[in-house]
Amino acid sequence: MMARSFWVVMQKRDDGKVYADLHKTDERIYQTLEEAEEALVKKPLTSCFQVVEMVAETIEEWKQEAPDKEASEHTIDPREALLRAALYSAFNLGQRYWQLADSERPSHWRKADEVKQKLETVIQHAVDCIIKQRGEE
C-alpha cells in the first residue's frame, strides 16, 4: 500500500506557508497536476490561489507500512485526537459563521444559521464522546 498524491487549488496565505486547509480550496480534488493547473488558470483572481500537492492514505495503510506506529511517539490518544478534531472543526466553522453572518446578503445569513447548527452539532458530538469515554474508564 502506498500513499497517493492529489492536487487542490487553494487560497494563498499572506505568510507564504501552506497548510492542509481543505476548506480553503475550490472544493475539488484533482487526480493530476495538469488538471489542477488547468483549473487554476480558469479561476478569477488567479494570483490569489495556488496548486498544492497533498498526500492521502487510509489509517489502515498507514499502520500497515509500519506496524509499530501504534506504539510510536506519533500516536495520539484517541481522546486527544477527538478533542483536536473537534476544536479545529469548531474553529473553522466559527470563522465561516462570522464571515457569513457579517455579510449584507440575506442568503448568507441563512447559510450562517446552517453553519451555526453544524458548529453546535460538532460541539455536542465531542462532548457526548468525551462523556462516553469517561464512563468506560
Last-in-domain residue among 26, 42, 65: 65
- Shared domain check, 8 and 61: yes
127 CB neighbour count, 10 Å cutoff: 11
Residue 11 included in any domain: yes
Residue 87 included in any domain: yes
Give residue 80's pLDDT band: very low, low, confident or very high (50, 70, 90).
confident
- Shared domain check, 18 and 59: yes
Task: For residue range 21-31, list pLDDT tens digits in order.
Answer: 777 788 788 88
Residue 71 included in any domain: no
- CA 55/CA 66 separation, integer angstroms: 17
Region 62-71: mean pLDDT is 61
Sign of CA dihedral 86, 91, 92, 98: positive
* Percentage of the chain lying above the pLDDT 70 cut: 83
Last-in-domain residue among 20, 39, 65: 65
Q: In terms of residue numbers, what domain contains 34?
A: 4-65
**Domain tally, the chain:** 2
Tell me what the pLDDT averaged over the chain comes to. Answer: 79
Q: Model pTM? A: 0.45
